[in-house]
Homo-oligomer: A and B are copies of this chain.
């Protein structure tokens, strides 16, 4: 029911973070939390724990369940406090040196940081730091934070963090672990999610509430946009060093990124998706249809909402093979066109002779959508009406989501009719941006004060894009080749 796959035709969330302070088995809790956040990043994961004396790291490429399924590893990750991270690599090959949390020794002791988000002035800051003698070992934004903290003259860690955060632009939601504190911080616009939870005496930081559920923790509240939360033996201390701003959380978390069983601002993601599906049905239901079929798993909630609103039966017309993981059979060329069936198979008995409404959450490149429409048609569907529960994706994201370059976005190249022809669909419709807003908060989008970051649909980026303006966005950050 969720974005658990490597699909070139989906946007990819780049990261999930988790932290715990004050619990025995902090690392085991963190591993479980990361497992629940696995959908946010599947190429690498790491944990750093602190046992009162030393920090213990373990980072690797792979899935959480593989990396931490090892008693020796878990026993090494001692301590009552830990932070963890799951990650997508955004460019090139996955490389271990970019897997977080990053750790460094500072004059005040050690500090590990894990971050979800993307700075829009990281290149400029990094250049400045290097020119003053800082040495970078990774190409992550997180290392920029580390060096800014290291070179700040602030007396306390908190002062140094505020110093650093004042200078950065863009999206971040970070967890940091020092010898005495677990720290959470979220950018002033709250673009990426971050929550505070509790498990008995222990405090938890997590990207989504499903990571609290898995360990039986309760959701205390969202960490607010612009808030720095410091957790130590005395409890939780909140700091809000930045001027208040109207929050603009990422709207795609509602559409696709977050797990359906997560809550955002107290509201169910699953419900939101059903409402989006219902609104999509109101905006665009074809006159006649026999069944509503989701593209599994991510299209299911919207399809349920759509089917209910349209009064058309919901059927699992496509069956997904959940064994498609990170490995693939790569057959010789002559049978490579079989590719898409590795993941989905048409439930022929349901599709044959039917007028099908096919509900998916988004179209990025359009490659998978095209194959699925063809598969549904080959299974005997007489009409295929494609309905998408997001507006057309026409702009890149600079806040931590791996979007293709604009020229690879199908909706940036074709109008609706062009896309319809390309997909060979009988009809194609996207929910409108106003429809999306109405489904989420009851009102049309207020162009002067939009409630979400929706730049991928509207091009209205809520922060300056310093690196991009400076022409840096395609720069190679390091002279070191990416692989290994």
Contacts and interface: CB of A to CB of B under 8 A. Distances in A.
Interface stretch (A315-323, A439-447, A451-459): A315-323
A110 B478 contact: yes
A350 B66 CA distance: 32
Interface string A296-336: 11001100100010000111100111111101111110110
A299 to B, nearest CB: 12
A134 B137 contact: no
Nearest to A215: B338
Contact of A322 (B69, B297, B345): B297
A71 B4 contact: no
Interface in A33-58: 35-36, 38-39, 42, 53-58
A295 to B, nearest CB: 13
B479 A28 contact: no
Nearest to A480: B55
A105 B268 contact: no
Nearest to A479: B110
A135 interface: yes
Contact of A130 (B105, B214, B267, B341): B105
The interface centre, meaning the residue of A316, A319, A334 with most chain B CB atoms within 10 A of its CB, is A319
B350 A481 contact: no
A342 B32 contact: yes
Interface stretch (A221-229, A258-266, A407-415): A258-266
A139 B270 CA distance: 49
Nearest to A73: B484
Interface stretch (A144-152, A365-373, A421-429, A467-475): A144-152
A329 B481 contact: no
A15 to B, nearest CB: 16
B329 A68 contact: yes
B480 A54 contact: yes
A81 interface: no
Given A65-B328, A179-B479, A329-B68, A214 B56 contact: no
B270 A325 contact: no
A481 B55 contact: yes
A163 to B, nearest CB: 12
A394 interface: no
A25 interface: yes
Contact of A57 (B53, B300, B335, B481): B481
Given A54-B480, A480-B103, A65 B325 contact: yes
Given A35-B323, A57-B484, A349 B263 contact: yes
The interface centre, meaning the residue of A53, A213, A328 with most chain B CB atoms within 10 A of its CB, is A213
Nearest to A4: B322
Given A103-B480, A329-B68, A134 B136 contact: no
A100 to B, nearest CB: 13
Contacts of A477: 105
A135 B26 CA distance: 26
Contacts of A271: 349-350
B260 A25 contact: no
Contacts of A68: 329
A268 B66 CA distance: 36
Contact of A319 (B2, B24, B325): B2
A346 interface: yes
A155 interface: no
Contacts of A215: 335, 338, 341
Contact of A316 (B32, B109, B270, B331): B270
Given A345-B36, A349-B270, A107 B135 contact: no
B110 A296 contact: no
A64 B329 contact: yes
A131 B107 contact: yes
B57 A480 contact: yes
Given A342-B214, A349-B270, A484 B58 contact: yes
Nearest to A307: B314
A106 B477 CA distance: 11
A135 B113 CA distance: 13
A74 interface: yes
B54 A24 contact: no
30 contacts: A1-B316, A2-B322, A4-B322, A4-B323, A24-B334, A25-B335, A28-B329, A28-B331, A32-B341, A36-B321, A54-B479, A54-B481, A65-B324, A69-B328, A71-B330, A74-B329, A76-B484, A104-B136, A105-B477, A105-B478, A105-B479, A110-B479, A110-B480, A133-B150, A135-B135, A135-B147, A260-B347, A271-B349, A304-B314, A314-B314
